[in-house]
Amino acid sequence: MDIDRLDLRILAILQKNNRLSNIELADQVGLSAPACLKRVQRLRKEKVIVDDVSIINPKLVGNTLTMIVSVEMDRDQADIYQRFRRSMDQAPEITQCYQVSGNYDFLLVVCVKDIQAYEEFVDRVLHTQLNIRKFHTSVSLRTVKFSTEVDLKGLTKDR
Protein backbone atom coordinates (compact mmCIF):
# COMPACT_ATOMS: atom_id res chain seq x y z
CA MET A 1 0.00 0.00 0.00
CA ASP A 2 1.32 3.41 -0.68
CA ILE A 3 0.74 6.36 1.46
CA ASP A 4 0.78 9.85 0.10
CA ARG A 5 1.09 13.24 1.76
CA LEU A 6 -2.62 13.45 2.46
CA ASP A 7 -2.61 10.08 4.16
CA LEU A 8 0.29 11.15 6.31
CA ARG A 9 -1.54 14.31 7.31
CA ILE A 10 -4.59 12.27 8.20
CA LEU A 11 -2.48 9.85 10.24
CA ALA A 12 -0.70 12.70 12.00
CA ILE A 13 -4.03 14.09 13.12
CA LEU A 14 -5.68 10.80 14.07
CA GLN A 15 -2.76 9.57 16.12
CA LYS A 16 -3.18 12.67 18.27
CA ASN A 17 -6.96 12.55 18.40
CA ASN A 18 -9.27 10.12 16.71
CA ARG A 19 -12.44 11.63 18.13
CA LEU A 20 -12.76 14.57 15.81
CA SER A 21 -15.54 14.12 13.35
CA ASN A 22 -14.82 13.08 9.83
CA ILE A 23 -16.05 16.49 8.75
CA GLU A 24 -13.49 18.30 10.89
CA LEU A 25 -10.77 15.96 9.71
CA ALA A 26 -11.73 16.48 6.08
CA ASP A 27 -11.66 20.19 6.70
CA GLN A 28 -8.20 20.14 8.20
CA VAL A 29 -6.67 18.17 5.34
CA GLY A 30 -8.65 19.96 2.64
CA LEU A 31 -10.86 17.17 1.35
CA SER A 32 -14.59 16.60 1.15
CA ALA A 33 -16.03 14.45 3.90
CA PRO A 34 -16.64 11.37 1.72
CA ALA A 35 -13.21 11.50 0.12
CA CYS A 36 -11.61 11.81 3.51
CA LEU A 37 -13.68 8.99 4.94
CA LYS A 38 -12.67 6.70 2.12
CA ARG A 39 -9.02 7.29 2.89
CA VAL A 40 -9.46 6.69 6.59
CA GLN A 41 -11.40 3.51 5.93
CA ARG A 42 -8.64 2.33 3.64
CA LEU A 43 -5.99 3.09 6.24
CA ARG A 44 -7.94 1.04 8.76
CA LYS A 45 -8.58 -1.81 6.36
CA GLU A 46 -4.92 -1.99 5.35
CA LYS A 47 -3.95 -1.95 9.02
CA VAL A 48 -1.86 1.17 8.76
CA ILE A 49 -4.16 2.22 11.55
CA VAL A 50 -3.96 -0.85 13.76
CA ASP A 51 -6.34 0.21 16.48
CA ASP A 52 -8.46 3.00 17.79
CA VAL A 53 -8.37 3.23 21.55
CA SER A 54 -8.83 5.31 24.63
CA ILE A 55 -5.68 5.75 26.68
CA ILE A 56 -6.28 5.35 30.39
CA ASN A 57 -4.17 6.94 33.08
CA PRO A 58 -2.99 3.85 34.96
CA LYS A 59 -2.43 5.82 38.16
CA LEU A 60 -6.03 7.00 38.32
CA VAL A 61 -7.25 3.47 38.08
CA GLY A 62 -4.96 2.00 40.69
CA ASN A 63 -2.00 0.72 38.72
CA THR A 64 0.73 2.81 40.20
CA LEU A 65 3.80 0.66 39.88
CA THR A 66 5.83 0.18 36.72
CA MET A 67 8.63 -2.33 36.64
CA ILE A 68 11.34 -2.76 34.03
CA VAL A 69 12.35 -6.38 33.70
CA SER A 70 15.26 -7.67 31.65
CA VAL A 71 15.21 -11.38 30.93
CA GLU A 72 18.08 -13.62 29.93
CA MET A 73 17.19 -16.95 28.39
CA ASP A 74 19.01 -20.22 28.86
CA ARG A 75 19.67 -21.05 25.25
CA ASP A 76 19.32 -19.38 21.88
CA GLN A 77 16.74 -21.86 20.72
CA ALA A 78 14.01 -20.75 18.36
CA ASP A 79 11.18 -22.72 19.96
CA ILE A 80 12.08 -21.54 23.46
CA TYR A 81 11.96 -17.96 22.31
CA GLN A 82 8.71 -18.53 20.53
CA ARG A 83 7.07 -20.06 23.57
CA PHE A 84 8.25 -17.16 25.68
CA ARG A 85 6.91 -14.62 23.23
CA ARG A 86 3.53 -16.27 23.18
CA SER A 87 3.29 -16.17 26.95
CA MET A 88 3.74 -12.41 26.85
CA ASP A 89 0.33 -11.94 25.26
CA GLN A 90 -1.33 -13.84 28.05
CA ALA A 91 -0.18 -11.50 30.80
CA PRO A 92 -2.17 -8.27 30.97
CA GLU A 93 0.41 -6.75 33.33
CA ILE A 94 2.96 -6.68 30.53
CA THR A 95 2.42 -3.56 28.52
CA GLN A 96 5.52 -3.78 26.37
CA CYS A 97 7.94 -6.52 25.47
CA TYR A 98 10.93 -6.21 23.16
CA GLN A 99 13.28 -8.93 22.04
CA VAL A 100 16.70 -7.35 22.08
CA SER A 101 20.31 -7.91 21.21
CA GLY A 102 23.00 -7.61 23.84
CA ASN A 103 23.42 -8.72 27.44
CA TYR A 104 19.89 -9.95 27.85
CA ASP A 105 17.19 -11.26 25.53
CA PHE A 106 13.92 -9.61 26.41
CA LEU A 107 12.91 -6.33 27.94
CA LEU A 108 9.53 -6.10 29.64
CA VAL A 109 7.57 -3.14 30.91
CA VAL A 110 5.21 -4.39 33.58
CA CYS A 111 2.46 -2.29 35.09
CA VAL A 112 0.88 -3.40 38.37
CA LYS A 113 -0.97 -2.16 41.42
CA ASP A 114 1.66 -2.86 44.05
CA ILE A 115 4.56 -5.07 45.04
CA GLN A 116 2.23 -7.92 45.93
CA ALA A 117 0.75 -7.83 42.47
CA TYR A 118 4.26 -7.83 41.02
CA GLU A 119 5.25 -10.86 43.05
CA GLU A 120 2.12 -12.62 41.95
CA PHE A 121 3.02 -11.74 38.35
CA VAL A 122 6.56 -13.05 38.73
CA ASP A 123 5.30 -16.33 40.15
CA ARG A 124 2.63 -16.79 37.54
CA VAL A 125 4.48 -15.63 34.44
CA LEU A 126 8.22 -15.72 34.97
CA HIS A 127 8.81 -18.53 37.42
CA THR A 128 6.70 -20.88 35.34
CA GLN A 129 8.91 -20.23 32.34
CA LEU A 130 11.59 -22.82 32.38
CA ASN A 131 14.44 -21.66 30.18
CA ILE A 132 14.82 -18.32 31.84
CA ARG A 133 18.39 -18.20 33.07
CA LYS A 134 17.81 -15.11 35.10
CA PHE A 135 15.92 -11.88 35.13
CA HIS A 136 16.54 -8.50 36.65
CA THR A 137 13.90 -6.07 37.86
CA SER A 138 14.25 -2.36 38.27
CA VAL A 139 11.59 -0.02 39.49
CA SER A 140 10.41 2.83 37.34
CA LEU A 141 10.50 5.91 39.52
CA ARG A 142 8.66 7.94 36.95
CA THR A 143 7.13 7.51 33.53
CA VAL A 144 8.78 10.47 31.88
CA LYS A 145 7.15 9.89 28.53
CA PHE A 146 4.61 7.49 27.16
CA SER A 147 3.62 8.26 23.64
CA THR A 148 1.75 6.21 21.09
CA GLU A 149 2.66 8.60 18.31
CA VAL A 150 4.83 7.52 15.46
CA ASP A 151 7.25 10.09 14.13
CA LEU A 152 5.93 10.94 10.67
CA LYS A 153 8.41 13.64 9.79
CA GLY A 154 10.54 13.03 6.76
CA LEU A 155 8.37 10.19 5.53
CA THR A 156 7.02 11.84 2.43
CA LYS A 157 6.83 8.84 0.17
CA ASP A 158 4.80 10.31 -2.62
CA ARG A 159 3.43 8.53 -5.53
Partner DNA sequence: GTTGAAATAATCTCTAT
Partner DNA sequence: ATAGAGATTATTTCAAC
Chain residues binding DNA by CB under 7 A are 6, 21-24, 31-35, 37-39, 41
Q: Does 78 bind a copy of itself (CB under 8 A)?
A: no
Q: Which of 117, 104, 102, 101 is nearest to 69 (CA)?
A: 104
Report the distance separating Cα 52 and Cα 157, nearest Å: 24
- Work out what residue 34 binds among DNA, a copy of itself, none; the CB cut-off runs from 5 to 8 Å by kind: DNA
- Work out what residue 63 binds among DNA, a copy of itself, none; the CB cut-off runs from 5 to 8 Å by kind: a copy of itself
How many other C-beta atoms are found inside a 10 Å radius of the C-beta of residue 13?
15
Q: Which of 45, 65, 77, 50 is nearest to 142 (CA)?
A: 65
- Work out what residue 37 binds among DNA, a copy of itself, none; the CB cut-off runs from 5 to 8 Å by kind: DNA
Q: Does 155 bind a copy of itself (CB under 8 A)?
A: yes
If residue 14 lies in a helix (H) or strand (E), which one and from where to where?
helix 5-14
In the region spanning residues 105 to 144, those forming contacts with a copy of itself, defined by CB under 8 A, are 106-107, 109, 111-113, 117, 136, 138-144
Q: Does 79 bind a copy of itself (CB under 8 A)?
A: no
Minimum Å distance from CB 6 to DNA?
6
In the region spanning residues 13 to 72, those forming contacts with a copy of itself, defined by CB under 8 A, are 14-19, 46-58, 60-63, 66, 68
Residue type, 2: D
Report the distance separating Cα 5 and Cα 105, nearest Å: 38
Report the distance separating Cα 144 and Cα 19, nearest Å: 25
Using CB under 8 A, which of the segments 28-36, 72-80, 123-131, 146-154 binds a copy of itself?
146-154
